[in-house]
Structures are given as C-alpha cells and as structure tokens.
Amino acid sequence: MTTPAEAGVIALARAWRAQDPDDETRAELDALIARAEAGDDEADAELHDRFSERLAFGTAGLRGELGAGSNRMNRVLVSQAAAGLGAYVRAQADEIGAGTGAGAPLVVIGYDGRRNSDVFARDSAEIMAGMGLRVVVLPRLLPTPVLAFAVRHLDAHAGVMVTASHNPPNDNGYKVYLGGVHAGSQIVAPADALIAAEIQRVADTLRVDELPRSDGWELADESVVDAYVAATARVAPAGPGAAGLRWVFTAMHGVGWETLSKILATAGYPAPVLVEQQTAPDGRFPTVAFPNPEEPGAMDLAFETARAAGAELVIANDPDADRLAVALPDPAAAGGWRRLTGNQIGLLLGWRAAREVAADPQREPAASLACSLVSSPGLEAVARHYGLDFHATLTGFKWISRAPGIVYGFEEALGYLVNPGTVRDKDGISAAVALLGIVADARAEGRTLTDVLREFDETFGFFASDQISVRVDDLSAIDRVMAALRAAPPAHIGAVAVERFEDLRHGLGDLPPGDVLRLWLAEGARVIVRPSGTEPKLKLYLDVRGSSAADAGARVADLAAGARALLAQIEAR
C-alpha cells in the first residue's frame, strides 16, 4: 500500500513527467514510478532523492548529475533556467549596460562535448528567442574560454556555457556570464539570487511545455572563433627558442584541440605529439576514471606518449579547456614524469606577467596580480617585487576576474587568467600559449622549465603547498567538520602553533562572506579549510615558506600529517 509520503513524491514525479520533452527521462520516471507503486523501497528512495529538493542555482550556475527530477540536470530544469535567466536579462538590460543599439538584449550560448550539452543549448536558445531576446549560439561545440570571449566580443548582455568542466561523465552544468559593466565575468551576488528567484517563479507558475519557443535564434559565424584565435596567438608569439620543441598534448576527451591547433599555427609553435586516444571530443571519457588532470591516473596515457616521443614537456587541458596542467620529465618520479602543481604553474605565469607589466611604460598605475586566498602566497611576493598591487579573493574566477587593475590572476586548481583584456575567466588555452612562451624563452638561453622553476625559488623564496581533499557521500559530514573547527579552533596543527583563526562566514576586510576558515600558524605557515564549490569534498590548503626547497618540502609534509591527524580527531568525536 502506498503511504501518503510515497503518494506525494509520485505525484511530483507525474507532474514533472507531464511537462518533460525528453523521451529518455520520461522513461526513467515511468520505471521508477511503477517500481515505487509496487512497493520497491529502493525506487521510492530514488524518487525522494530526485524530488526532495531542487538543484540550486548559484554563483556557479547549475551543475549536477544528468537524470529526471528537480534535483538533476535535465531538459525541464534547463528550460526553467533559460526562462528565468531570460527574464532577468530583460529586466536588468539597462543596468547591465551592454549593446550599443536599441535592439533586444543579446545572449550568446556555447556548449561542449558532454552528453546533452547541445540539447540544453538548443532548448535555451529557443526559449530565450521565444521571449523576444536576440540569441546567438556558437557555431559548434567549443571551449568555455571561447564563450567567455564571445560575451565581450559580441558586446552581449549575458552568456551561457553548457558544461560541467572536469566533473564525472554523467554530470552537466549551466555557467552564466554577464557583459556590459561586468566585462564578461561570471555572475556574483546579487545577480545569482535574482536569477534564481526568476527561475523559481517560472517553475512555480509555468509548465515547460507551455513556454513560448522560437527558432529565430542565430548561429554565430566563424569570425568569432577567428577573433579568439588571433587574440590568443598574440599572448606569446613563438620566438627562436620554440624551434624543435618536442612536446605532448592531451585534450582529455574534450573540445580544446581544434581551437588550440589553430592558435599554435598562428603563433608559430611546432605542433605537439597528440595523445590520440584522448584528442577527439567524447563525453563518455572512456580512457580516464575521472576527466580531471589533477586526479591520479588521468595523465597516464600522456606520460606514456611522452616517454615514447622523448618529449620535453606535457601539456593537458581539461574537457572544456578552461584549465591547464603541465608535466616535466623527472627520473625520481614514478613513471619518469612529474606533474607541476597549480601553484607552480600559477607562479611562473604570474612572474611572466609581472615582468611584462613592469617593462611597459604605459602600464596602469594600479596594475595588479590576483589569486584566490587558497592559492600560494608566492604571488604576493612577485607583486611586491615588481611594485604591483596584489589582491587575494574568494575562490573562483568570478571573484579573481573582478580584482581592481588585474593583469593576471590564478587559482591553484589549474586555473589561469593570462589575458584579461579579452577573456575575464580562467582560460587553459591562452595559459598553454603563455607557458609555451616561457619554455621557448628558456630554450633560447639553453635552459629548461626546471631551470626556470629553480630561478623562481632563488628569486622570491622557497614556497611549498599541499592539499588534503576529503570526498564524502553525505554532505552533512562536511558541515560537521566545519562546525567543530568553529566551535573549538585548534591551538596547534601537528607541532606548529596556530597564532590566528579567521572565520570568513560574515566577510573579512575586502573579502565578501564565504564558508572559509583561515588559520595563520607560526613560522609563516597557513592552513585554509573550505567545502568544494563544485564537488562533494572538504578541502584543506596548506602553505609554508622554507629556507630551501628541501626545508619547505619537509615543513609542508609535517603540516599535512598534523592536519590529517586533526581531521581524524574530529571524526572520532
């Protein structure tokens, strides 16, 4: 017999199914409803998981697992999001301030190679065109940075990128940018709350199958992509040292290679040896357990290719090409290759940017370097060395890109903003070009990237970082750890004394509120604790500064051991 609670969730599922245009997700619900009505407890629990709450729209837009229900990514949810975003753009067009004519507000839409990305993009285009907006869709699946570029290049009011970046294969997402006074950055408060309210209004009052649709949207021509290629090639045209460079590239089954290949040819770099199994877009990501170059094993095929090719370095993009990973040959590393950390890459690129700005007599007096507060403090040392301003922001390029006077920004999670005049978001393609420029300059002097890393340490200090990432099945476990640390801040982490404890829940100085704890320790060490914004993880970021590379490495290892012991103590309570 069906209980009242079961009847309620079944009614929600039937109502959702009635407006769902997708045969696959309708069939999912039909099967779950039939099983639940037959007394299958597992199906009942699944329905409650899918309908007990709604996938929240926030400053990261939407991101989640594909499937039927309000707590999944699907055509109903995306259609509601498109209608809500369209209503926001119409209402806020004057405040956004994009466009030069009196025509309808413009929204540009891009999509990557994940499952349903093209479908979600088309639904969004039809619905927003049906609302009277001008809608331009990028000509094919393309990297996220091309969409971010297009928002500014086309002087659009808003942009949508359908992607889940490096998330698991069965996820997808909906990332929103604003043009005009927002300069093509991702949304921040209060825009996120206003858009979320419009989406909820649509969900509460309108059926998706009753939303007006129009095929009056436009397909962007190749000039948009060509403009991105030209602008990115100018980041670091190849010098004499690029000749003969042998390197390996993997697109991680994503959409980066086609665009990057055009930029390399334009900028004059030799073509890489490709990881052929991972070059073509494939939303199944068949050769990796997790399509994120940070994850163990994700770059194994690239290392295998590099060993066979006798390569000098490996470069990887994540599936939507907004992140960059780099690896160098290292006889001491397992397999003979060592992946650089995001902080190491970020500091090298920041050093490059600082030198260029310092040498420019026309530079802005308030030119600045910026990074997320969890990234290496080494960037501030670079900024001070060259007389530049420095800004630490909350995590995410929605904040980094808005740093006053920014000429370069990064975050340790393999994100780099090297060309803020054209793309106000992390861009793994332009970062790859900038990195190749550093490599080429070093080769012209008879040096390697390893030599450049050593020079950085000798110039700015020996910084070392580590990260502890705890993946959970139950998000409440993260809340419990954060609450325990707030209730009883530790006096020591390992043998290192905690000198200052900061809770950023209500903001701090120039930093807006965030679910972040920052612990300043003796001897210049630092630990930052925060939940991941995109995955079910608790993250701890550890930073030290030592008297040598060996000293810094030993200190960060001891700090990591102390942090793990602290987490174990909290879990045991």
Q: Are residues 277 and 288 in the same domain?
A: yes
Radius of gyration of the chain, Cα coordinates, nearest whole angstrom: 24
Q: Give me 545's structure tokens.
A: 């500064």
The Cα 293–Cα 252 span in angstroms is 8
Question: Would you write out the chain's pLDDT as a tens digit for each of its 573 residues?
Answer: 455 456 789 999 999 999 999 999 999 999 999 999 999 999 999 999 999 999 999 878 999 999 999 999 999 999 999 999 999 999 999 999 988 666 899 999 999 999 999 999 999 999 999 999 999 999 999 999 999 999 999 999 999 999 999 999 999 999 999 999 999 999 999 999 999 999 999 999 999 999 999 999 999 999 999 999 999 999 999 999 999 999 999 999 999 999 999 999 999 999 999 999 999 999 999 999 989 999 989 999 999 999 999 999 999 999 999 999 999 999 999 889 999 999 999 999 999 999 999 998 888 889 999 999 999 999 999 999 999 999 999 999 999 999 999 999 999 999 999 999 999 999 999 999 999 999 999 999 999 999 999 999 999 999 999 999 988 888 888 999 999 999 999 999 999 999 999 999 999 888 889 899 999 999 889 999 999 876 788 999 999 999 999 999 999 999 999 999 999 999 887
In angstroms, the CA 490 to CA 498 distance is: 7
Which stretch of DSSP H or E encloses residue 541? Answer: strand 537-546
Instruction: Assess whether 399 and 381 both reside in one domain.
Output: yes
Asked if residue 230 belongs to a domain, the reply is no
Which of 458, 474, 506 is the C-terminal boundary of a domain? 458
Q: Which of 256, 50, 82, 229 is nearest to 165 (CA)?
A: 256
- How far apart are alpha carbons 119 and 128 in whole angstroms? 14
CA distance 477 to 537: 10
In a domain, 396, yes or no: yes
When divided into structural domains, the chain yields a total of 4
pLDDT in tens, 391-410: 999 999 999 999 999 999 99
- CATH classification at residue 67: 3.40.120.10
Token pair, residue 294, equals 């940070």
DSSP-assigned states of every residue in 135-204: EEE-SSS--HHHHHHHHHHTT-SEEEEE--TTS-TTEEEEEEEE-GGGTTEEP-TTHHHHHHHHHHHHHH
Are 47 and 69 within one domain? no
Cα–chain-centroid distance for residue 240?
33
Q: Tokens 């978001």, residue?
A: 425
Domain co-membership, 392 together with 435:
yes
CA-to-CA separations, 149 to 133, 304, 528, in angstroms, rounded? 20, 34, 32
How much is the mean pLDDT over the chain? 94
* SS3 annotation, 454-476: HHHHHHHCEEEEEEEEEECCCCH
- 262, 274, 346: which is closest to 315 by C-alpha? 274
In a domain? residue 417: yes
Q: Per residue, what are the HEC states of 339-380?
A: ECCHHHHHHHHHHHHHHHHHCCCCCCCCCEEEEECCCCCHHH
pLDDT at 573: 77
If asked whether residues 405 and 331 sit together in one domain, one would say yes
Same-domain status, 481 and 444: no
Distance CA 334, CA 357 (A): 38
pLDDT at 382: 98
Count Cα atoms within 13 angstroms, Cβ side, for 294.
17
Q: Residue 326 domain-assigned?
A: yes
- Domain annotation covers residue 231: no
Same domain flag for 85 and 21? no
Residues in the chain: 573
Q: Which residue, of 425, 458, 491, is where some domain finishes?
A: 458
Catalytic option among 165, 185, 430, 465: 165
Count of CB atoms situated within 10 Å of the CB of 532: 16
User: What's the confidence (pLDDT) of residue 533?
Assistant: 73
- Whether 165 sits among the annotated catalytic residues: the reply is yes
Q: Which of 37, 52, 67 is the last residue of a domain?
A: 52
Q: Is the peptide bond before 190 cis (omega within 30 degrees of 0)?
A: yes
pLDDT of 362 reads: 81
Q: Residue 572: in which H helix or E strand, if any?
A: helix 549-572
At 423 the three-state DSSP class reads coil
- Residue type at 179? G
Q: What is the pLDDT of residue 388?
A: 96
Let me know whether 33 and 118 are in one domain.
Answer: no
Look up the domain containing 474 and give its range: 461-572
Q: Provide the residue type at 122 as one letter.
A: R
Note whether residue 227 is domain-resident. no
| Same domain assignment for residues 45 and 84 | no
Identity at 504, one-letter amino acid code: L
- Is 473 a domain residue? yes
Domain match, 12 and 152 both? no
Together in a domain, 104 and 7: no
Residues 13 and 112 in one domain: no
Backbone angles phi, psi at 288, to 5 degrees: -130, 145
In-domain check, residue 467: yes
